[in-house]
Structure formats: C-alpha cells, structure tokens
C-alpha cells in the first residue's frame, strides 16, 4: 500500500490528541485559521474541518505542528531525524514507479473548465490580499539536470484559472524562472495539494538540483514513489495526491502579489510571475490540505528537518564537534542554538560564525557546551548567563544581509535589507579550569528512571503534561 495523506491521517487518529474533528460549519475566510491558532497552546493538534462553507471538500490543517509529528510520520525519533535525513541524501535513491491509472484522476477539468473557486482555498490573516494556497508543493523540472525539483511558495489566486507563484531569486524555482524569463520561455509546473508529509519534507531539504525530489520522497518513505504523467505539462505527477493543479508560468509577466502574513508575523507585498492553470486533477472524495502561515506548523516544516539539517552540516564542516542544531520556532526562525564538544578555545565563536555565514536568515546564534540541551530553553538561558561575559564572549556583525520579512531590518537601495547579527559563545573556557555544574546527580544515578518511584497513574499524568509542555515550547 502506498503512503499518502489518507494513510497519515489514519496514523494520526490512532494517536490520542493528535487530530481533532470539527463538524460545525466554518468559513474558509479567517475562521478555520482562527480555530487552528487558538489550539496552538493546547499541543498544536491537527484539525479536520468537515463542513466548510461553499464546498463539500473537508479541510485539514496543522499537520506539521510539532517536531514529534513530523518525525513520527517518517517512523523516526525527533532527535534522530536530522542525521537520518542527511544519511539518506548521501545514499542511492529508489527509482519512481510509473502508474497509468492514478488515484488523482477521480475528477479532471482542463482549460476553461478549471475553476479554482470550487476549492476551499482560505484567507489566513486579516490583511492578506486574497485567498492563498499555502500548503501547495510546486514541482518543476530543472532544465539543466532533468530532475524534478519541489518547493513551497506563496500562491495567490488571481482568477478562476490564474494564480501567482512567488519564488525568491535565490530559490531553485526562482532561478528557473529567471533563466526562462531571460530566454523568453514559459515553465511547466504542478502544484500538489495534499500528500503524505514526506512529500512536503522533501521539498524543504534544499537538495542539490541533480537529486530528483520524487526519488528523495521515496527514500524518506522507504519505498518507491508512484507517479503518473502530466496531462497538460511535461512533468511527473504524484499518483496518490489529493489535488494537483497543472499550469504554465510566464516568468516575464509579473503582477502585484500580497500583502501576505508571514512567519515573522508581519506582512509582505511583492511582484510575482502569473500562472495559468491548464488542468485540475482531483482524487475521489478529496481532502484539501491547508497550512496557516502564522501557525507554528509553517516554521516547523520549514525548519525541521531541512533547515536545521543544512545548518548542522555547514557548522560541522567547520567545527567537527557540533552535536546539536536547533532553530527555535518562537524566535521567528531568526535565531539558532548550537551545542558543541569544545576542542579548542575559539570553537564557540567559530561555530557561531559558520552558522551566520551558512544561513542568511539567522540574526542571533548561541553556542553552548554539549552538557546543555539546545531543546531546553531554560538550559540555554542558564548557560547564556553563567558562562558568558559580554565583552569577551559576544560579537556583532553590522550591516549584514537581512531578509525582507524582518520589519526591524534597514531598507537599502534596490529594496534589499541589512541587519546587525550577533554571536554568543556560551561555552566554558578551556583555560583556566572552569567549575563543574552542581546540579549533576551523584555517580550511579545519572540514568535514574522516575517511573521506578511512581505509580502508573502518576506517571501517565506526568507524561501527558510534559508532552503538551514540550509541544508548546517548540
């Protein structure tokens, strides 16, 4: 049996508190996003809306709300997912399986019969310019390698069969668009709405353009990935997707797009190429997958494991002793915590510099010793105080490259942003001898299991509380 959105939803149903069903009627304009956002402090559950105004298609949101949920979707512990993904990307990937009678063709409309208004496409933030597809994974063929490249971008609906695709110039699809605009070519794309989380995860790994994203998805799932031929575009399409929009982008024709609420909780407006949707392919009894851009799931999918894996890999190339890399969701994705096994006195600052150089989104990097868990905010804050003297351990890089979604950055010519960046070396100095921690247990009790001291009811209660608290802190 192939893994798809439906098999994953059933997996969530078997895990208590991971999926909530809402059966009262809701509006796709603001209401479904407000419900999902209101549940964020309660463990960030996925939510299935069964009765959405204007459509018979149910909407699911919140699939990517926590690190545990993403890791479990791939059958991996969340602490192991980053290294697991890096090992897969360096291995031989399974070939795709061609399918001639795909599930995706339960309902097909082409040309002028395409009506995007028939889909429950939502308006997510109060000042958004209109309805946006926020969970769509855009597939395109890299002209240099022939491999399928995937990514997730802002997609604004502009008509019954038109939409914009906002791909930044430094993204793979942005580079494809720029080259096509220079050469006067159009670009075939497919927008995949609703599949197993592995499809979205693969799109965020930023693998080399030689790596086929469909083969990488198969590797994440541990099986060959089923695809079928495009009806109106020269692309392979996931055979078991819920909804696929095939289309042709005219990169030279740019239109106003936005404003749109982003991951930093601020709005951005831009210009983006327009796409004509040439075919709409929908599975029988489809599920529309939506994603709230200012909910933690936006940052979770973007940061974990993809961006954290790239950060870990880049810093490890400079400081081999790096042990953990975390980009906290509540930092607006602009901070990173690193832990290292320190071998030389300058390793802390070197790790911070490597992080800032490898990821231009980062503004603040904190480096701690390997006895500090970077997923424990209290522990990082503790180390940032008791192991730091600001005049020695902190450095600032002025007027560095910033991002347009940071409202505190300075706008310069051409619309670019510059910002100050900070590194904090919160590691213990190797010389002179730094005092040991006093909160370490006596030898022999390092691996004490509290379950040995508590009743099963007490342990169950504690585990349920700690799980919710951990999800909130992420």
**DSSP letter string, 243-282:** EEEEEEEEEEEEEEEEEEE-TTS-EEEEEEEEEEEEEEEE
Q: Which residues contact 224 (CB under 8 A, 6 or more apart)?
A: 94, 95, 96, 97, 218
Q: What is the mean pLDDT of residues 321-327?
A: 94
Q: Tally Cβ neighbours within 10 Å of residue 55.
A: 15
Interstrand relation of 19-22 and 46-49 (parallel, antiparallel or unpaired)? parallel
Structure tokens at 209: 């353009």
Q: Is 97 helix (H, G, I), strand (E, B) or coil?
A: strand
**pLDDT band for position 331 (cuts 50, 70, 90):** confident
Residue with tokens 């109106």: 232
Whether 468 shows a pLDDT value over 60: the answer reads: no
**pLDDT band for position 471 (cuts 50, 70, 90):** low
Of the given ranges (36-45, 79-88, 396-405, 457-466), which has the lowest mean pLDDT? 457-466
**pLDDT band for position 438 (cuts 50, 70, 90):** confident
% of the chain surpassing 90 pLDDT: 60
Cis peptide before 432 (omega within 30 of 0): yes
pLDDT at 38: 87
| pLDDT: which is higher, 243 or 1 | 243
Partners of 152 in the beta sheet? 137
- Burial letters 404-427, b for 16+ CB under 10 A, else e: bbbeebeeeeeeebebebbbbbbb
Opening angle at CA 268, ends 263 and 269, nearest 5: 150
DSSP codes of every residue in 226-239: EEEE-SSSSSEEET
Structure tokens at 37: 């956002």
Cis peptide before 237 (omega within 30 of 0): no
pLDDT tens digits for 151-201? 999 999 999 999 999 988 878 888 999 988 999 999 999 999 999 999 999
Q: What is the 3-state secondary structure (H, E, C) of 404-452?
A: CCCCCCEECHHHCEEEEEEEEEECCCCCCCCCCCCCCCCCCCCCCCHHH
pLDDT at 270: 86
Q: Please give the Cα distance from 121 to 28 (Å, whole number).
A: 7
Q: Please give the Cα distance from 470 to 328 (Å, whole number).
A: 12
The answer to whether 206 and 80 are in contact (CB under 8 A) is no
pLDDT at 474: 56
- Burial letters 62-84, b for 16+ CB under 10 A, else e: bbbbbbbbbbbbbebebeebbeb
Whether 321 shows a pLDDT value over 80: the answer reads: yes
Cα atoms in the 13 Å half-sphere on the side-chain side of 340:
34
Q: Which residues contact 462 (CB under 8 A, 6 or more apart)?
A: 450, 454
Structure tokens at 283: 């599975």
**pLDDT band for position 413 (cuts 50, 70, 90):** confident
- Burial letters 376-388, b for 16+ CB under 10 A, else e: eeebbebbbeebb
| pLDDT: which is higher, 262 or 349 | 349
| pLDDT: which is higher, 332 or 355 | 355
Q: Tally Cβ neighbours within 10 Å of residue 115.
A: 12
Domains (ranges, CATH) in the chain? Answer: 5-298 (2.30.110.10), 319-440 (3.40.1670.10), 443-474 (no CATH)
pLDDT at 299: 75
Of the given ranges (255-264, 371-380, 423-432), which has the lowest mean pLDDT? 255-264
The answer to whether 297 and 257 are in contact (CB under 8 A) is no
Residue with tokens 């038109």: 162
Cis peptide before 275 (omega within 30 of 0): no
Partners of 396 in the beta sheet? 422
Whether 239 shows a pLDDT value over 70: the answer reads: yes
pLDDT tens digits for 44-85? 889 999 999 999 999 999 898 888 888 899 999 888 888 888
Q: What is the mean pLDDT of residues 441-469?
A: 76
Q: Please give the Cα distance from 335 to 355 (Å, whole number).
A: 10
Whether 27 shows a pLDDT value over 90: the answer reads: yes
> What are phi and psi for residue 340, nearest 5 degrees?
-135, 155
DSSP codes of every residue in 169-237: TTSHHHHHHHHHHHHT--EEEEEEES--HHHHHHHTS---TTS-HHHHHHHHHTSPPEEEE-SSSSSEE
The answer to whether 36 and 62 are in contact (CB under 8 A) is yes
Structure tokens at 57: 């298609």
> How high does pLDDT run on average in the chain?
90
pLDDT at 442: 83
pLDDT tens digits for 206-215? 778 888 999 9
Q: What is the mean pLDDT of residues 424-428?
A: 96
Reading phi first (left if > 0) and then psi (alpha if -120 to 50, else beta), residue 227 is in beta
Whether 231 shows a pLDDT value over 70: the answer reads: yes
Q: Please give the Cα distance from 54 to 129 (Å, whole number).
A: 20
């Amino acid at each position: 049996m192939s893994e798809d959105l439906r098999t994953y939803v059933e997996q969530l149903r078997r895990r208590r508190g991971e999926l909530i069903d809402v059966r009262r009627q809701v509006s796709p304009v603001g209401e479904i996003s407000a419900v999902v956002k209101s549940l964020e402090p309660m463990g960030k559950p996925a939510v299935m809306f069964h009765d959405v105004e204007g459509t018979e298609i149910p909407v699911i949101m919140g699939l990517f709300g926590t690190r545990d949920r993403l890791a479990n979707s791939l059958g991996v512990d969340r602490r192991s997912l980053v290294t697991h993904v890096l090992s897969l990307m360096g291995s031989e990937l399974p070939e795709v399986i061609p399918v001639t009678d795909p599930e995706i063709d339960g309902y097909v409309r082409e040309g002028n019969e395409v009506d995007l208004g028939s889909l429950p496409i939502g308006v997510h933030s109060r000042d958004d310019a209109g309805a946006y597809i926020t969970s769509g994974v855009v597939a395109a063929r890299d002209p240099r390698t022939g491999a399928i490249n995937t990514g997730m971008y802002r997609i604004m609906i502009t008509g019954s069969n038109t939409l914009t695709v906002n791909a930044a110039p430094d993204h793979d699809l942005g580079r494809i668009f720029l080259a096509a605009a220079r050469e006067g070519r159009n670009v075939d794309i497919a927008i995949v709405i609703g599949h197993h989380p592995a499809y979205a995860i693969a799109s965020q790994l930023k693998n080399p353009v030689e790596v086929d994203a469909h083969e990488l998805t198969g590797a994440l799932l541990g099986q060959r990935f089923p695809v079928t031929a495009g009806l109106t575009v020269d692309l392979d399409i996931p055979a078991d997707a819920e909804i696929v929009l095939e289309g042709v982008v005219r990169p030279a024709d740019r239109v106003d797009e936005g404003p749109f609420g982003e991951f930093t909780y601020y709005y951005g407006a831009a210009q983006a190429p327009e796409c004509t949707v040439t075919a709409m392919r929908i599975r029988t009894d489809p599920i529309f997958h939506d994603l709230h851009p200012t909910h933690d799931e936006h940052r979770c999918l973007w940061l974990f494991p993809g961006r954290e894996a790239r950060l870990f890999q880049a810093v490890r190339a400079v400081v081999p002793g790096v042990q953990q890399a975390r980009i906290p969701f509540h930092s607006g994705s602009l901070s990173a915590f690193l832990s290292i096994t320190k071998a030389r006195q300058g390793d802390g600052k070197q790790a911070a510099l490597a992080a800032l150089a490898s990821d231009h989104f980062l503004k603040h990097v904190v480096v701690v010793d390997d006895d500090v868990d970077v997923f424990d905010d209290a522990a990082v804050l503790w180390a940032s105080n008791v192991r730091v003297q600001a005049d020695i351990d902190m450095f600032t890089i002025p007027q560095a490259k910033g991002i347009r979604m940071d409202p505190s950055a300075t706008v310069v010519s051409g619309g670019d942003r510059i910002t100050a960046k900070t590194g904090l070396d919160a590691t213990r100095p190797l010389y002179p001898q730094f005092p040991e921690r006093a909160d370490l247990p006596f030898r022999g009790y390092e691996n004490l299991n509290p379950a040995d001291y508590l009743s099963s009811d007490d342990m169950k209660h504690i585990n349920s509380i700690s799980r919710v608290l951990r999800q909130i802190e992420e």
